[in-house]
């Protein structure tokens, strides 16, 4: 079904994929490049990054991606970084061993891949440190330059998850500066796409036709993120057709997090000590709420307000989302520089209400 320049498939199954023509077209072209490249997919949490990329790669028999899952603590220590990366590449290399054995010994690709396999096999002989991870990335880069495979890394906040391992964060960032690495952003749906998704997919799925024509009201609560829209309508139905914005579960979670953030040194189980104080968070919330119509705040403006270390600590602890590039994103009309947003629309609403209470 073609509508307003994008495609969507609708039925009543909860797991249906919602297509976005611009992203599909661009990524198909990008992934069809004959030159080996490292594709890094960035964006806010739960924007459909994984579903989008899998939709593309699983339907292209000529593409065999390597997915590096950066969630669930898999990138929060040198050993976890090493394991997350090496296991994917070793699996690929092992599959190619019979093929490699038939290649002439003088071929560079054979030496590179065999060197990589031997390097990974030595893992148990020494402690995994950031230097060891650096060596691993160098060998991966070497095989990418001459190899014939693609790799996809997907995470909503890749760099800042590594913040407590600063050397690792710098290492990953430095790798992203090399020519064969391309970062992309998968943002939320555009307003038009989100309304179409709401009216033609979510409402029929949940049997809430009484919400037809009320997307502007719902969007103020949910934003244009598919998962949050779907959650809101589901809770609305389960609550008997009534659900105020402050009763929505995502709002309550964000509100609780922000209230806790006003006394950041009481955090239980945080991996690093928060660096901001109550006034810093209030200043940031004011800037984010004031910029709602624009959709973002420039990072340099917030750095001037509270300083870079405090700001990055807020990003690391998921009070803000940092978008270091806006390449190929269609949800925000932002300049070509680093921007910061609320984690989601319910978080923005929670900031707005909390500021009123504190006033």
Confidence of residue 352 (pLDDT cuts 50, 70, 90): very high
Instruction: List pLDDT tens digits, range 327-350.
Output: 767 788 878 889 999 999 999 999
Q: So what's the pLDDT on residue 76?
A: 63
115 pLDDT higher than 90: no
359 pLDDT higher than 80: yes
311 pLDDT higher than 90: yes
Q: Are 296 and 306 in contact (CB under 8 A)?
A: no
Instruction: List pLDDT tens digits, range 229-277.
Output: 999 999 999 999 999 999 999 999 999 999 999 988 766 555 457 889 9
Per DSSP bridges, beta strands 339-341 and 321-323 are antiparallel
Give the range among 29-38, 171-180, 240-249 with minimum mean pLDDT: 171-180
92 pLDDT higher than 80: no
| Cα–Cα distance measured from residue 312 to residue 322, given in angstroms and rounded to the nearest whole number | 9
Q: Are 19 and 55 in contact (CB under 8 A)?
A: yes
Share of the chain above pLDDT 70, in %: 63
Classify residue 246 by its DSSP letter: G
Q: Give the full edge-to-edge strand order of the sheet including 339-341.
A: 297-298, 339-341, 321-323
3 pLDDT higher than 50: no
Mean pLDDT, residues 18-32:
75
**Core vs surface per residue 282-316: b (16+ CB within 10 A) or e:** bebbebbbebeeebbbbbeebbeebeeebbbbbbb
Q: So what's the pLDDT on residue 24?
A: 80
| Cα–Cα distance measured from residue 284 to residue 340, given in angstroms and rounded to the nearest whole number | 10
Instruction: List pLDDT tens digits, range 64-76.
Output: 566 665 555 555 6
Tally Cβ neighbours within 10 Å of residue 154.
22
160 pLDDT higher than 70: no
Identify the three-state secondary structure at position 140. Answer: helix
Confidence of residue 162 (pLDDT cuts 50, 70, 90): very low
Name every residue whose Cβ is closer than 8 Å to that of residue 166 and which is 6 or more positions away in sequence. none
Comparing 10 with 215, the larger pLDDT belongs to 215
CA 265 distance to own-chain centroid = 27
Q: Are 158 and 42 in contact (CB under 8 A)?
A: yes
Tally Cβ neighbours within 10 Å of residue 352.
15
């Amino acid at each position: 079904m073609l509508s307003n320049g994008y495609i969507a498939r609708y039925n009543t199954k909860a797991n249906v994929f919602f297509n976005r023509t611009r992203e599909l077209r661009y990524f198909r072209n990008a992934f069809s490049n004959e030159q080996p490249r490292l594709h890094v997919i960035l964006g806010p949490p739960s924007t459909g990054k994984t579903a989008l990329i899998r939709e593309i790669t699983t339907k292209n028999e000529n593409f065999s991606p390597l997915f590096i899952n950066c969630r669930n603590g898999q990138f929060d220590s040198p050993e976890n970084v090493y394991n997350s990366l090496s296991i994917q590449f070793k699996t690929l290399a092992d599959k190619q061993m019979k093929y490699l054995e038939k290649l002439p010994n003088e071929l560079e690709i054979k030496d590179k891949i065999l060197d990589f396999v031997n390097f990974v096999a030595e893992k148990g002989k020494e402690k995994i440190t950031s230097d060891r991870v650096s060596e691993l990335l160098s060998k991966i880069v070497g095989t990418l330059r001459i190899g014939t495979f693609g790799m996809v890394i997907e995470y909503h906040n890749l760099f800042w998850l590594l913040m407590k391992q600063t050397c690792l964060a710098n290492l990953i960032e430095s790798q992203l500066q090399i020519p064969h690495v391309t970062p992309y952003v998968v943002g939320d749906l555009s307003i038009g796409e989100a309304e179409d998704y709401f009216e033609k997919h979510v409402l029929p799925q949940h049997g809430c036709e009484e919400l037809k024509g009320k997307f502007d009201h719902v969007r103020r609560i949910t934003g244009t993120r598919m998962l949050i829209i779907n959650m809101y309508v589901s809770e609305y139905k389960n609550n008997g057709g009534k659900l105020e914005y402050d009763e929505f579960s995502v709002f309550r979670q964000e509100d609780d997090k922000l209230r806790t953030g006003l006394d950041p040194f009481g955090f239980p189980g945080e991996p690093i000590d928060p660096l901001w104080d109550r006034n810093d968070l209030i200043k940031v919330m004011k800037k984010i709420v004031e910029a709602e119509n624009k959709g973002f705040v420039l990072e340099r403006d917030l750095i001037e307000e509270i300083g870079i270390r405090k700001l990055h600590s807020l990003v690391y602890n998921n009070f803000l989302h940092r978008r270091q590039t806006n390449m190929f994103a269609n949800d925000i009309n932002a300049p070509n520089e680093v921007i910061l947003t609320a984690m989601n629309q319910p978080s923005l609403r929670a900031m707005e209400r909390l500021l009123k209470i504190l006033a």
